[in-house]
Amino acid sequence: MDNSLLDKNKEVVRRFNEEVIQNGNVEVFNDLMDDDFVNNSAPEGGDKTKNGMIHTFNNILRPAMPDMKVTVYQQIAEDDWVTTRKNIKGTHSGIFLGIAATGREISIDVVDMVRLKNGKYIEHWGLNTLSAVLAELRSGQ
C-alpha cells in the first residue's frame, strides 16, 4: 500500500482522537464515520453503531472529565488499519458510570485498531484500562 495513503489514514485517526474524543466535535464525528461502522469493543449488549460510540464520548466521558485530553503516543498503519496507543486523561469532576466526582485525575490507557474505508471509520477494536480505573475510583484510593 502507498505510504501516502497510510499517512493519510493515520491522520484521520489522529484527527478523530483530537477533534472528536478530546473536543467533542459531532460535526467532525459525522464526517469521519461510515454509516456501516461497527464497534467490536462495545460492552456486551451495548450499541455497536456509531451512535453508541459518540454517546460514550459525549454522554459518559465528557461529563465526567470536561477537561479531557487525548495524547497519542504511537500509530502503526498497515493496509486499511491504523493501530494507536494513546492515553485519555482528565479531572474526575462529574459523575462517571455511577461514581460521584472525586476531583482526582483519571488516566485511561488505550490501544485501539481502526479499519478505514474511503477515509472513514468502518470498524473498531480496542483494549483499555477503564475497568482498573473504575475499581480504583470505587475503592477511594
List pLDDT tens digits, range 19-39.
999 999 999 999 999 999 999
- Global pTM value: 0.93
Q: Is 12 helix (H, G, I), strand (E, B) or coil?
A: helix
Residue 87: per-residue pLDDT = 98
- Please provide the average confidence, as pLDDT, over all residues in the chain: 95
Q: Which fold has domain 3-139?
A: Nuclear Transport Factor 2; Chain: A, (3.10.450)
Q: How sure is the predictor about 2, in pLDDT bands with cuts at 50, 70 and 90?
A: confident
CA–CA gap between residue 37 and residue 21 (Å, rounded): 16
Query: Do 92 and 27 form a contact (C-beta atoms < 8 A)?
Result: no
Sign for the pseudo-dihedral over CA of 97, 93, 125, 29 = positive
Q: How sure is the predictor about 141, in pLDDT bands with cuts at 50, 70 and 90?
A: low
Strand 105-117 with 81-91, pairing = antiparallel
List pLDDT tens digits, range 30-78.
999 999 999 999 989 999 999 999 999 999 999 999 999 999 999 999 9
Domain ranges across the chain = 3-139
Name the E strands within 14-104: 33-39, 69-78, 81-91
Name the residue with cell 503516543: 73
